[in-house]
């Protein structure tokens, strides 16, 4: 079932359960922290569903940098909510396979996409119906699997925390990546002037295609000198997932009333061997991470805001509002899905390796239908 308007599925008091025939499922499992070799594709029983839940036979699942941090054992909500073993993955798209009691407005066979707090790297995913949305005709299954995490992250950063306004100068780090590209598009859609930062010449055109007014290639330019030239009076919003490498200088470039929005710490996770974090670099990065003084923030009229999207999934109001606005923006052409590179589910290690090189653009997606 597809609908013109985005909405969360609802839950009623009672509805008969509809189960497809029993079968086996495949999922990527990480039994303990480590490198790419910890990603193992295993066969398991198809997961059961409970009241208010929906099971989806996935066709595609999104790959996010956070999944790499989960594999390394360094993701806080993964330790809090799951522990070991764990299946990474936050967003997915596919076809409804079973509907639990109490769910209304969704039927077996519906084409859907949604978010899950881990467990996405699998052929079958079970989620509360409120974390599921009808897949609109504007999005292919691969685009739908790439959509929720990056665009909800960008929406929350800009609209919920950043309070973006028309005419505001906004600086976006990693502007050719998944979240970075989404930030550029949404900021432009809100009427802001956007300066995007990329890490190589091959990413400049992607950032420009997203709508950036100015693109700084930090591989060939002095990042902060170029940022100062682009906005001499400072920035109202700076979106930064780099961590220690840029946080202090990002804060310094805020204009009065400016907001530094932090949603990751990518540069802390230097690899040591095949996908494993160097403990010394991690400790050094933690020590070098700036501590912002509330007295200084008050006198300079600047703010630092941070969030982790996985802690927000139970907030049905936020998910519903975000997806309604985002899908309307997609229909209106304000945002367009990012470039997508696909891997088979059994190629998950190659996908993580590619993402961690920092050379990819857009979003990586795992295809599960043939796994």
Which value, to the nearest 10 degrees, does the dihedral of the CA atoms of residues 154, 149, 68, 241 take?
10
117 and 221 inside one domain = no
Indicate whether 5 belongs to any domain: no
The pLDDT of residue 316 is 86
State mean pLDDT over 32-45: 95
The pLDDT of residue 283 is 74
Answer whether 231's CB lies under 8 Å from 195's CB. yes
Instruction: Check pLDDT > 50 for residue 11.
Output: no
**49 CB-near residues (< 8 Å, 6+ apart):** 17, 55, 98, 99, 100, 126
57 and 91 inside one domain = yes
Q: Six-digit token pair at 94?
A: 């596919």
Tell me whether residue 223 is exposed, middle or buried, using C-beta atoms within 10 angstroms of its C-beta: 0 to 12, 13 to 18, 19 or more.
Answer: middle
Report the share of the chain in percent with pLDDT over 90.
Answer: 78
CATH, residue 302: 3.40.50.720
Report the share of the chain in percent with pLDDT over 70.
Answer: 90
**317 CB-near residues (< 8 Å, 6+ apart):** none
The pLDDT of residue 247 is 96
Query: Residue 173: which of 134, 212, 130 has the closest Cα?
Result: 212
126 and 173 inside one domain = no
Per-residue pLDDT of 135-151, as tens digits, reads: 999 899 999 999 999 99
Instruction: Check pLDDT > 50 for residue 15.
Output: no
Which residue would you say has higher pLDDT here, 133 or 18?
A: 133
Per-residue pLDDT of 280-314, as tens digits, reads: 676 777 778 889 999 999 999 999 999 999 888 88
Indicate whether 3 belongs to any domain: no
CA distance 322 to 123: 26
Query: Residue 187: which of 231, 208, 157 has the closest Cα?
Result: 157
Query: Residue 237: which of 164, 291, 156 has the closest Cα?
Result: 164
Indicate whether 93 belongs to any domain: yes
The residue segments making up the domain with residue 32 are: 10-147+313-367
State mean pLDDT over 90-118: 97
351 and 207 inside one domain = no
Range name among 18-22, 190-194, 251-255 with the lowest pLDDT average: 18-22
Task: Spell out where the chain has E strands.
Answer: 10-11, 24-29, 40-45, 53-63, 91-99, 103-104, 111-115, 124-128, 132-134, 169-172, 193-198, 214-217, 235-240, 254-262, 303-306, 340-344, 363-367
CATH, residue 349: 3.90.180.10
32 and 95 inside one domain = yes
254 and 291 inside one domain = yes
Q: What's this model's pTM, rounded to 2 decimal places? A: 0.89
Which residue would you say has higher pLDDT here, 58 or 16?
A: 58
Q: Considering the chain, what is the average pLDDT of its residues?
A: 90
43 and 120 inside one domain = yes
Residue 104's CB is within 10 A of a number of other CB atoms, namely 13
State mean pLDDT over 24-49: 96
CA distance 79 to 66: 13
215 and 276 inside one domain = yes
Answer whether 197's CB lies under 8 Å from 223's CB. yes
Answer whether 168's CB lies under 8 Å from 192's CB. yes
179 and 161 inside one domain = yes
Per-residue pLDDT of 206-249, as tens digits, reads: 999 999 999 999 999 999 999 999 999 999 999 999 988 999 99
Query: Residue 91: which of 172, 182, 210 has the closest Cα?
Result: 182
Indicate whether 138 belongs to any domain: yes
The pLDDT of residue 19 is 53
CA distance 371 to 123: 7
Residue 256: what are its φ and ψ, rounded to 5°? -55, 140
Q: What's the domain count of the chain?
A: 2
State mean pLDDT over 339-357: 95
């Amino acid at each position: 079932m597809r609908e013109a308007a985005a909405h969360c599925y609802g839950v009623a008091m009672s509805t008969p359960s509809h189960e497809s025939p029993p079968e086996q499922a495949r999922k990527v499992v990480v039994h303990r922290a480590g490198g790419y070799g910890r990603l193992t594709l295993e066969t398991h029983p198809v997961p059961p569903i409970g009241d208010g839940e929906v099971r989806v036979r996935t066709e595609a699942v999104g790959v996010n940098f956070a999944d790499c941090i989960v594999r390394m054992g360094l993701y806080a909500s993964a330790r809090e909510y799951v522990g070991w073993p764990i299946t990474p993955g936050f967003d997915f798209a596919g076809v409804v396979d079973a509907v639990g009691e109490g769910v209304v407005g969704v039927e077996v066979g519906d084409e859907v996409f949604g978010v899950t707090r881990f467990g996405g790297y699998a052929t079958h995913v079970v989620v509360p119906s409120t974390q599921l949305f009808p897949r609109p005709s504007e999005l292919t299954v691969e685009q739908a699997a790439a959509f929720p995490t990056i665009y909800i992250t960008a929406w929350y950063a800009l609209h919920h925390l950043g309070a973006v306004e028309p005419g505001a100068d906004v600086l976006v780090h990693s502007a050719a990546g998944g979240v970075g590209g989404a930030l550029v598009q949404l900021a432009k859609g809100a009427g802001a002037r956007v300066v995007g930062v990329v890490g190589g010449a091959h990413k400049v055109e992607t950032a420009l295609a997203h709508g950036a007014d100015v693109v700084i290639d930090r591989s060939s330019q002095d990042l902060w000198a170029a940022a100062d030239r682009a906005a001499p009076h400072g920035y109202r919003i700076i979106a930064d997932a780099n961590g220690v490498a840029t946080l202090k200088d990002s804060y310094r470039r805020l204009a009065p009333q400016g907001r530094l929005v932090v949603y990751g710490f990518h540069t802390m996770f230097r690899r040591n061997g095949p996908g494993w974090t160097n403990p010394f670099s991690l400790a050094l990065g933690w020590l070098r991470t700036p501590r912002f003084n509330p007295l200084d923030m008050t006198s300079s009229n600047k703010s630092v805001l941070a969030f982790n999207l996985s802690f927000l999934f139970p907030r049905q109001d936020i998910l519903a509002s975000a997806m309604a606005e985002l899908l309307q923006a997609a229909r209106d052409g304000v945002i367009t899905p990012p470039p997508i590179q696909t891997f088979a589910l059994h190629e998950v290690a190659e996908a993580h390796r590619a993402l961690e090189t920092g050379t990819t653009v857009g979003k990586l997606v795992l295809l599960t239908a043939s796994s």
